[in-house]
Amino acid sequence: MFLEIVTPEKKVFEGDADSATFPGADGSFQILNSHAPLISLLKEGVVEYKVKGAAQQVIITGGVVEVVNNKVILLADGVSA
């Protein structure tokens, strides 16, 4: 699946990822390939995503994630590595 992480100030990540875990407003959840369309609010927390088996992390201060057509777009308010 295609993952894109953007903040108002820069693009943090763009590319293919195997899976991604988000701190949803109702609890943490993971998104794998070919997930159904989804829009979810995120709270403060850690976003973890795997690129070719290697796990990577970003800490966000909140945001929203949209999944559609195997494309995951994360709009984060702020990011600290």
* Residues at the site binding another protein, with contacts judged by CB under 8 A: 6-11, 24-26, 29, 36-41, 64, 66, 68, 73, 75, 77-78
CA-only gyration radius of the chain, Å? 11
Minimum CB–partner distance for residue 36 and another protein (Å): 6
Q: Closer CB to another protein, residue 37 or residue 55?
A: 37
Please name the residue that has the structure tokens 């850690």: 46
Tokens of 65: 């994630």
Tokens of 9: 């100030």
Tokens of 32: 């794998």
Minimum CB–partner distance for residue 53 and another protein (Å): 27
